[in-house]
Amino acid sequence: MTQRRSMFLLSSVVFGFAFLYVPILSLIIFSFNESKLVTVWAGFSTKWYGELIRNEQILEAAWISIRIAFVNACFAVALGTLAGFSLARFGRFRGRTLFTGMVTAPLVMPEVITGLSLLLLFVAMQDLIGWPEGRGVTTITIAHITFSMAYVAVIVQSRLTSVDESVEEAALDLGAPPAKVFFVITLPIIAPALISGWLLSFTMSLDDLVIASFVSGPGSSTLPMVVFSKVRLGVSPEINALATIIVLVVATGVIAAGIVMRNQELRRARDEHMAAAENL
Amino acid sequence: MAEARSGVQTLEPWNDPDAKPYIRIQNVSKKFGDFVAVNNVSLDIYQNELFCLLGGSGCGKSTLLRMLAGFENLTNGNIFIDGVDMVGIPPYDRPANMMFQSYALFPHMTVEGNIAFGLKQDRVPKTEINKRVKEMLDLVQLGPFAKRRPHQLSGGQRQRVALARALVKQPKVLLLDEPLGALDKKLREETQFELVNIQEGSGVTFIVVTHDQEEAMTLSTRIGVMDKGEIVQVGTPTEIYEYPDSRFVADFIGSVNMFEGRIIEDEADHVRIASDEAGCNLFIDHGLSTTPGAKVWVAVRPEKISLSREKPNGEENCTTGRVDEIAYLGNLSVYRVELESGKQMRVTMPNLVRDAAERITWDERVYATWQPSSGVVLTR
Ligand SMILES: Nc1ncnc2c1ncn2[C@@H]1O[C@H](COP(=O)(O)OP(=O)(O)OP(=O)(O)O)[C@@H](O)[C@H]1O
Ligand SMILES: [Mg+2]
């Protein structure tokens, strides 16, 4: 009985993981394919990686994407933290539910709509005040900030609700004015949430295709846009190589973050255990 | 009880009509929505007092303290500290420091950093900060832990850091919310002593919240007993214990035997009360001014009752019953006696004789008596 059950569990796990990772695995394998035909194996080669490095268009797009992602992440963390802080700490002000809903709306809004509305806004603004001049890196960055900051706000808010508010009150009580309390007490305590918010914003910006397509202009194609336009002309092993590199970078980041967090968790648990054992 | 105060403070500013209260709480109320957490509280607290707010869980002690510290707005009333109206003054400008019930230590700072924080806000010179932090660490016996973070400390250690952090600024008013709750008995007694010492030496006015009545008796110059958001009685520990003015206070502080009865005689120098519950007439050696026939309660503390096998002289303040339960505590024994009315009565008697055979035991029929001055008549 139990054996049958464990067989069932095992096969579910295998099937689930296969479903998730076989496509990625096949992509990685075929990136080392000698042949130009993606589906026919013709021996091992790293030549597509060489091609990739020589491809100006892809490199330029990657550089644009990274710049956008970086600026976006910084702004999103700054704005999202302020929004999350006011959601968590201003108590029950008038229209709080509305505000919460509005901050989190971009999370569920279809990207097409977000993209389209931003495009319309940018066009209208250009007509009215002459800024932003045309569409390009600036407009993509602004568009990304609008949805990234919603994620940061939610992360910061949920982190703050688990921080005892009396810690901030204690700092006030000891003579620190509110702004100082925010920078000296609140921010350091929620720093891990800010870091994960930053990383999330960064990756989401790197990933985004739909919104960027709406608000980009000539000479500002991001990496996903270039990849997508190339794939429409047929999948080349070059793209496989690019995808493999991206998977590698992302996996390294995720695993590194995981290890750091786990170590912190372990050390904390050990410290608490020791303190309790001393029981002085 | 009350050992720490055996120095006997003869100064009693609350009995002096000319004394100026240092903290004046006037008709203060606090509502959360429809819920009244603090209801029309008025209190005068004098300089150098150690005032205890005592009451059950949820009776509004912390809320009152938080209003003094400036974290809650008053729904009604006024608070003056040293003659200054506190309305609109933010917490960081008030001459009060608070120790939080949840300790509220800064998790990203060391023990030292936590204690130094308040001094840094006042731009105290660095050498002075180091000196005072070190003194505080010695006081709360946390010297070896100075470099640790709060999560590396046990509950009692955290509590002492919180205490040190509030004390180090030597404010005019110290508000302590359950300051000693997590300490073990020995450390608790030491720290109680230390608190009283600090308070007597520093001229700081302390307001201490506790729900431990023994702690309140030990520490305080005066106690304010709270119930459901209201102050029900204010007095010295002795007044509160010996002369409670309501059934709630009598019951809340220490244990008590409460007999319901009816006044049958109320003269200038005595009162006589008939009580079916007690099984005898109750005689009190001072007058009241109530209407005869009024329903009252008489409270008698367990240690003021004595038990005997032989029937004593006199009919009043003397009842009889069967010993139901005995708890031997070494220095004294607690007897539970079931009276003929079915009421359980609690009696504590010192164990004067060593020989167990001579002591009253289970199921014995005993007589219980007390002095005319022992009972307290309560009308509410
Ligand atoms: N922010 C709040 N919103 C609504 N109700 C509150 C709030 N703070 C306190 N209360 C309520 O007010 C009452 C008094 O709370 P308070 O914290 O003052 O109790 P306490 O006497 O300190 O109790 P304890 O001994 O358990 O600490 C409680 O019933 C509590 O639920
Ligand atoms: Mg409380």
**Contacts (Cβ under 8 Å, ≥6 apart) of A184:** A171, A176
Task: Give the C-alpha distances (Å, rounded to integers) separating A39 from A45, A230, A239, A240, A248.
Answer: 15, 17, 14, 12, 22
Residue B197: per-residue pLDDT: 80
Cα gap B313→B310, rounded to integer Å: 10
Q: Which residue has the tokens 């690019």?
A: A242
- Is there a contact between B118 and A175 if contact means CB atoms under 8 Å apart? yes
- Residue whose C-alpha is closest to residue B183's, from B146, B218, B157, B144: B157
B280-284, strands of its sheet edge to edge = B280-284, B271-275, B257-266, B295-300, B376-378
pLDDT band of A159, cuts 50, 70, 90? confident
From the number of C-beta atoms within 10 Å of its C-beta (0-12, 13-18, 19+), residue B112 rates as buried
In contact, B287 and B268? CB cutoff 8 Å: yes
pLDDT one-digit tens code per residue, B125-155: 999 999 999 988 988 888 899 999 998 888 8
Reported confidence tier of residue A279, pLDDT bands at 50, 70, 90: low
Question: What is d(CA B227, CA B60) in angstroms, rounded to the nearest whole number?
Answer: 8
Sign of CA dihedral B321, B323, B327, B329: positive
Mean pLDDT of chain B: 86
> Minimal CA–CA distance to B160: which of B186, B132, B188, B134?
B188
What spatial distance separates the first Cα and last Cα of chain B, rounded to whole Å? 27
| pLDDT mean over B267-287 | 82
Q: Tokens 């999370």 belong to which residue?
A: A107
Closest residue of chain A to B68, computed from CA coordinates:
A173
Each residue of B72-84: pLDDT tens digit?
988 989 999 988 8
Q: Which of A173, A275, A279 sits opposite B91 (nearest CB)?
A: A173
Pocket of ligand 1 from Cβ distances under 6 Å: B 32, 35, 37, 55, 57-63, 101, 211
Q: Is B132 helix (H, G, I), strand (E, B) or coil?
A: helix
Q: Which of B92, B132, B169, B176 to mutate to test the interface with A (most CBs of A within 10 A)?
A: B92
Interface test with B, best of A165, A174, A194, A279 (most B CBs within 10 A): A174
Mean pLDDT score, A30-44? 83
A175 Cα: distance to centroid of ligand 2 (angstroms): 22
The atom of ligand 1 lying closest to the CA of B226 is 21
Cβ atoms B258, B247 nearer than 8 A: yes
pLDDT at B313: 80
Residue B312 DSSP symbol: P
Over residues B171-181, the pLDDT tens digits come to 889 999 988 87
Contact B368, B318 (CB under 8 A): yes
DSSP A129-146: H--S-SSSHHHHHHHHHH
Per-residue model confidence (pLDDT) at position A192 = 82
CA–CA–CA angle B131, B134, B137 (5° rounding):
155
Q: For residues B226-242, give the mean pLDDT.
A: 90
| Domain definitions of chain A by residue range | 60-219
Q: Hey, is the C-beta of B95 within 8 angstroms of any chain A C-beta? A: no
Alpha carbons B180 and B189: distance in angstroms, whole number: 9
Task: List CB contacts (< 8 A) between A180 and chain B.
Answer: 121
Percent helix, strand and coil across chain B, each to the nearest 5: 25, 35, 40
Q: State phi, psi for A201 to the nearest 5 degrees.
A: -60, -45
CB B201 within 8 A of CB B31: no
Per-residue tokens: B273:
């009360």
Sheet (strand B76-81) strand order: B35-45, B23-32, B76-81, B84-85
B152 in contact with A, Cβ within 8 Å: yes
B108/A189 Cβ within 8 A: yes
| B71 touching A (Cβ < 8 Å) | yes
Does pLDDT of A226 surpass 60? yes
CATH classification for the domain delimited by B2-95+171-248, as one of 3.40.50.300, 1.10.10.10, 3.30.70.360, 3.20.19.10: 3.40.50.300
| Residues constituting chain B | 380
Q: What is the pLDDT of residue A278?
A: 62
Q: To 10 degrees, the CA torsion angle through A68, A71, A73, A74?
A: 180
Is there a contact between B136 and B164 (Cβ–Cβ < 8 Å)?
A: yes
| Residue B88 reports pLDDT greater than 70 | yes
> Which residues in chain B are contacts of A177 at CB distance < 8 A?
90, 92
Can you say whether residue B62 is alpha, beta or left, with left for phi > 0 and alpha for psi between -120 and 50 degrees? alpha
Q: Peptide bond preceding A132: is omega within 30 degrees of 0, i.e. cis?
A: yes
Question: CA–CA distance from B248 to each of A32, A203, B122, B238, B299 (Å)?
Answer: 84, 63, 44, 16, 11
CB-based contacts of B180-189 (< 8 A; 24+ apart in sequence): B180/B210, B180/B212, B180/B215, B181/B101, B181/B210, B181/B212, B182/B155, B182/B156, B182/B158, B183/B156, B183/B159, B184/B156, B187/B156, B188/B215
Task: Find out if CATH 3.90.180.10 is the number for domain B255-307+316-378.
Answer: no
Mutate to test the pocket of ligand 1, among B31, B32, B178, B207 (most ligand atoms within 8 A of CB): B32
Find the helix packing angle between B155-167 and B126-139, rounded to 10°. Answer: 140
Parse chain B into domains and list their residue ranges. Answer: 2-95+171-248, 255-307+316-378
Which residue in the set B97, B107, B152 is minimally distant from A173, CB to CB? Answer: B97
pLDDT digits (tens, 9 = 90+) for A97-124: 888 888 888 888 898 999 999 999 999 9
Q: Which of B61, B74, B176 to mutate to test the pocket of ligand 1 (most atoms within 8 A of CB)?
A: B61
Contact present, A231 and A239 (Cβ < 8 Å) = yes
For residue B30, the ligand 1 atom closest to its alpha carbon is 12
Q: What is the ipTM of this complex?
A: 0.79
Instruction: State how far Cα A144 lies from the chain centre.
Output: 11
**CA B24 to ligand 2 center in whole angstroms:** 21
**Chain A positions in Cβ-Cβ contact with residue B90 (cut-off 8 Å):** 172, 177
Check B92 against A175: CB less than 8 A apart: yes
Q: CB contacts < 8 Å between A and B, how many?
A: 77
List the one residue out of B205, B243, B249, B212 whose CA is nearest residue B230: B249
Give the 3-state secondary structure of residue B37: strand
Q: What residues of B are in contact with residue A173 (Cβ under 8 Å)?
A: 69-71, 91-92, 96-98
Asked if residues B248 and B56 have their Cβ atoms less than 8 Å apart, the reply is no
Contact between residue A92 and residue B32 where contact means Cβ atoms under 8 Å apart = no
Q: Which residues of A touch B (CB under 8 A)?
A: 164, 166-167, 169-177, 180, 185, 188-189, 268, 271-272, 274-276, 278-280
Nearest to A126 by CA among A146, A108, A142, A104: A142
- Nearest residue of A to residue B96, measured between CA atoms: A173
A26-30, B292-296, B317-321 — which is least confidently predicted? Answer: B292-296
Instruction: Tell me the C-alpha distance between A57 and A53, whole Å.
Output: 10
User: Is there a contact between A215 and A135 (Cβ–Cβ < 8 Å)?
Assistant: yes
pLDDT tens column, A162-171: 888 899 999 9
CATH architecture, domain A60-219: Orthogonal Bundle (1.10)
